[in-house]
Amino acid sequence: MLWPSLIRSLFRRPLSEPAPSPAEATVTALAERLEAAAQVRLGRSLAIRHVDSGSCNGCELEVNALSGVVYDLERFGLRFVASPRHADVLLVTGPACHNMAEAMQRAFLCTPDPKWVVAVGDCALDGGVFRDSYAVAGGVDRVLPVDLVIPGCPPSPAMLLEGLLSLLAVQEEAGEDEVPGN
Ligand code: SF4
């Protein structure tokens, strides 16, 4: 019978995890990286384009978990999009492989300004376990200007969510500071 489970679900608390609080130091550092006018233009929601620059797919598993019921990314106004042309954020996983450098740069150029680049995982930070490979240039910052790094191998969905929420927190602070009409 469907009815008993429907009635039970009305009184159960949601399965979703509560939102983690972004670290104050992270928010402050991000605020310094983007001029206030640009932050306001981005608004209070963000479209994210995921770019795999050569990862082992471990980071992707955690990124995918963000869209499930437990972390439920969309409740915060964050959503994944299929094209960098529709994105505010490039979320890059994996080390910067030489073979992917041109594709990464093209994705970056296609993303309209203002935009954030978020490097996810230890590989995106400095090459990680692939650092000494002939196929790898190093971290994502060897190819793209990185605004935020979320370290870990792989970082948990909670860490990813915290990092992404810090981008929104920066924008909200900038929006409050903005005087209408200026
Ligand atoms: S950080 Fe770890 S999980 Fe992520 S791509 Fe590198 S090796 Fe894989």
- Strands annotated E in the chain: 46-52, 78-80, 89-93, 96-97, 116-120, 136-138, 148-150
Residue 16: per-residue pLDDT: 75
SS3 content of the chain, % helix, strand, coil (to 5): 50, 15, 35
What is the CATH classification number for the domain harbouring 72? Answer: 3.40.50.12280
126 within some domain = yes
128 within some domain = yes
154 within some domain = yes
132 within some domain = yes
The SS3 call for residue 49 is strand
Consecutive 10-residue runs of the chain (182 residues): their mean pLDDT? 78 74 68 55 81 94 90 88 94 95 95 92 93 92 93 91 84 59 39
What does residue 170 show for φ and ψ, rounded to 5 degrees?
A: -60, -45
- Chain mean position to CA 167: 8
How far away, in angstroms, is 160 Cα from ligand 1 center? Answer: 14
Residue 124: per-residue pLDDT: 95
Q: Among 129, 132, 140, 159, name the best residue to mutate to test ligand 1's pocket (greatest count of ligand atoms within 8 A of Cβ).
A: 129
155 DSSP assignment = P
Residue 22: per-residue pLDDT: 72
Residue 125: per-residue pLDDT: 93
Residue 50: per-residue pLDDT: 96
How many domains, the chain?
1
78 within some domain = yes
Q: Among 62, 136, 153, name the best residue to mutate to test ligand 1's pocket (greatest count of ligand atoms within 8 A of Cβ).
A: 153
Question: For strand 116-120 and strand 89-93, is the pairing parallel, antiparallel, or unpaired?
Answer: parallel
The answer to whether 163 and 152 have CB atoms below 8 angstroms apart is no
How far away, in angstroms, is 57 Cα from ligand 1 center? Answer: 7
